Amino acid sequence: MAKAVHIIEQINIPNGVEVEISNKVVKVKGPKGELVRDFGYAKNIDIRMENGKIVLETFFANSKQKALLYTIASHIENMITGVTKGWKYKLKVISSHFPVNVKISGNYVVVENFLGERAPRKAKILEGVRVKVEGKDIIVEGIDLEKVSQTAANIEIATKVRDKDRRIFVDGVYIYERGVIE
């Protein structure tokens, strides 16, 4: 496979967002908060500020380095979106056999009476993430996309049904919507 001689990707910085880059550590500060991420593992990729834009640049990149450059660009864009708008996941509680009770206790979402089990199932809420229970909906919000999505996944995995027919036992908590906070 041929190598690309020169790849350059530019990311615009919106108004109200400050970006600092030092030694491949990107710090993005906006109206909703501040996110810091270290891209030190990207050896052949140069990350710098130029004319009010973030510039990612590499030379003689193979396919893996090219993919890494665009992945880092996506991570930085997600950080900018997080500090300006924020991220939101919505989950729905489905129960057809037993009435399920969902509550928040400290850093955990506790699901009680799931499939009639006596022991509650717990899902960890990561730092910097807000979780609200509104009836049969669970809303997960925050500025860091990775933490928000992992918290939603933790809740979904905690209520996974094992050793039963999934067509009959559809009980659980499922992600049904994700996006930015409007």
Report the relative pairing of strands 101-105 and 87-94 from DSSP bridges. Answer: unpaired
Is the domain defined by 4-84 classed in CATH 3.90.930.12? yes
Asked if residues 32 and 81 have their Cβ atoms less than 8 Å apart, the reply is no
- To the nearest 10°, report the CA torsion of 25, 70, 143, 141: -150
HEC string of 105-143 equals ECCEEEEECHHHCCCCEEEECCCCEEEEEECCEEEEEEC
* The pLDDT of residue 99 is above 80: yes
Which residue has 């924020």 as its token pair? 86
pTM, to two decimals: 0.90
Which pLDDT value is given to residue 165? 87
Supply the mean pLDDT for the chain. Answer: 93
Which pLDDT value is given to residue 3? 80
The 10s digit of each residue's pLDDT in 5-18 is 899 999 999 999 99
Asked if residues 175 and 89 have their Cβ atoms less than 8 Å apart, the reply is yes
Q: Under CATH, domain 87-180 is a member of which superfamily?
A: Ribosomal protein L6 (3.90.930.12)
Q: In the numeric block, which tokens belong to residue 143?
A: 């500025």
The 10s digit of each residue's pLDDT in 117-171 is 899 999 999 999 999 999 999 999 999 999 999 999 999 999 998 888 888 888 9
Q: Tell me which residue of 9, 34, 40, 31 sits closest to 20, measured CA to CA.
A: 34
Helix (H) or strand (E) holding 41: none
Residues of the chain with CATH 3.90.930.12: 4-84, 87-180
